[in-house]
């Protein structure tokens, strides 16, 4: 067996690449051991994601069907009424989710939009759910307002490595994204930040992305790993899927580099076999998006997830401070 990585040494790109190149059994042995030291390996955190404002985004993210620059079937719409958001949150909570995530297709919110979104946050938190929002770029003042409203997590993915980023997005920079994340931290919110696999990037890009995340101070509390869903009309529509075991390797390396983070299987999970998902859970993934739609792309049916949890002996992680939680599969 290859020697286990020295977790006390600073990470470098070469050291992260050594993890990616390690024999798979060794890599899984290391990542699963680290996972067990920080989490119950048979618990999984459930988040539900709702698009509260769909389409019409001015950005040119090459993977995104919500960009106004791409000819997709997604139609632009306004922010949802608060009542619809609260009802969706109630349904998610009843199904077992402990975190409710709200996504809006903005480059960044206008102040009048933020007023409406703060209503969502307060109403959803009143149900006892954790809240998360993804709204694009934030100013200092906007981040402060969201923090004061009680938003628990802010999602703002880096998508890929700094070197490959310009191949995927040209309307905002990698540093723009990092600046928003710094503002989120300053405002006292937790960070949800990850990337997308299968956009034509190399192993070196995946390693560099994870290193960038791990070197944040502190690293993100939540790390969503997405498999590209190629949507007709987007520039990445013709991409081949990421090889399944490369996805597993990325999960394992993320767990080793960020031992205390929740690593989430996010977009693209509907195209994963049960066996692949089980291997990802063993490698260190311990969070999923739960519900049958992710913004504008499909997700697994809830009953299929419940069946898989029963088969694997996995139960839902209870939200801290709650005495009871619905457990899928019970």
Q: Which residues are catalytic?
A: 57, 61, 64, 101, 132, 192, 264
Element containing residue 21 per DSSP (H, E): helix 13-21
Q: Is the bond into 72 cis (omega within 30 degrees of 0)? A: no
If DSSP codes are grouped into helix, strand and coil, which group holds residue 169?
coil
Element containing residue 226 per DSSP (H, E): strand 222-227
CA within 13 Å, CB half, 62? 18
Residue 38 CA: distances (Å) to CA of 70, 125, 242, 284: 42, 27, 28, 10
Q: How many angstroms separate the CA atoms of 285 and 178, rounded?
A: 24
- Exposed / middle / buried, residue 316 (Cβ in 10 Å: 0-12, 13-18, 19+): buried
If DSSP codes are grouped into helix, strand and coil, which group holds residue 48?
strand
Q: How many angstroms separate the CA atoms of 28 and 30, rounded?
A: 5
CB burial of 240-259 (b: ≥16 within 10 Å; e: otherwise) equals ebbebeebbbbbbbbbbbbb
If DSSP codes are grouped into helix, strand and coil, which group holds residue 102?
strand
Q: Which residues pair with 263 in a beta bridge?
A: 223
Nearest to 223 by CA among 201, 182, 198, 252: 252
Q: How many angstroms separate the CA atoms of 109 and 111, rounded?
A: 6
Distance separating the N- and C-terminal Cα atoms of the chain = 39
Nearest to 101 by CA among 247, 222, 250: 222
Cβ neighbours of 209 (radius 10 Å)? 29
Q: How many angstroms separate the CA atoms of 151 and 280, rounded?
A: 29
């Amino acid at each position: 067996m290859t020697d286990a990585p020295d977790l006390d040494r600073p990470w470098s790109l070469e050291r992260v690449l050594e993890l990616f190149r390690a024999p798979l059994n060794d890599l899984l042995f290391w990542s699963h051991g680290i996972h067990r030291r920080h989490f119950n390996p048979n618990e999984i955190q459930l988040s539900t994601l709702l698009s509260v404002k769909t389409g019409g985004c001015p950005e040119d993210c090459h993977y995104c069907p919500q960009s106004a620059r791409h000819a997709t079937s997604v139609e632009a719409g306004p922010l949802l009424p608060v009542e619809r958001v609260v009802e969706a949150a109630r349904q998610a909570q009843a199904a077992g989710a402990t975190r409710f995530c709200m996504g809006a297709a903005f480059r960044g919110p206008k102040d009048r939009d933020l007023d409406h979104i703060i209503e969502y946050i307060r109403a959803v938190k009143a149900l006892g759910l954790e809240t998360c929002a993804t709204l694009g770029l934030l100013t200092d003042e906007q981040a402060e307002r969201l923090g004061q409203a009680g938003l628990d997590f802010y999602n703002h993915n880096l998508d890929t490595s700094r070197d490959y980023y310009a191949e995927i997005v040209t309307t905002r920079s990698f540093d723009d994204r990092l600046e928003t994340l710094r503002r989120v931290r300053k405002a006292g919110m937790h960070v949800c930040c990850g990337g997308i696999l299968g956009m034509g990037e190399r192993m070196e890009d995946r390693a560099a992305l994870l290193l960038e995340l791990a070197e944040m101070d502190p690293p993100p509390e939540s790390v969503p790993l997405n498999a590209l869903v190629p949507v007709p009309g987007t520039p990445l529509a013709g991409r081949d899927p990421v090889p399944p075991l490369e996805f597993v390797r990325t999960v394992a390396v993320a767990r080793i580099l960020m031992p205390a983070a929740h690593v989430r299987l996010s977009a693209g999970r509907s195209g994963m076999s049960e066996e692949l998902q089980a291997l990802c859970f063993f490698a260190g993934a311990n969070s999923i998006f739960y519900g049958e739609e992710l913004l504008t792309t499909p997700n697994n049916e809830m009953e299929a997830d419940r069946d898989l949890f029963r088969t694997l002996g996995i139960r839902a992680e209870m939200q801290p401070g709650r005495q009871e939680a619905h457990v899928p599969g019970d």
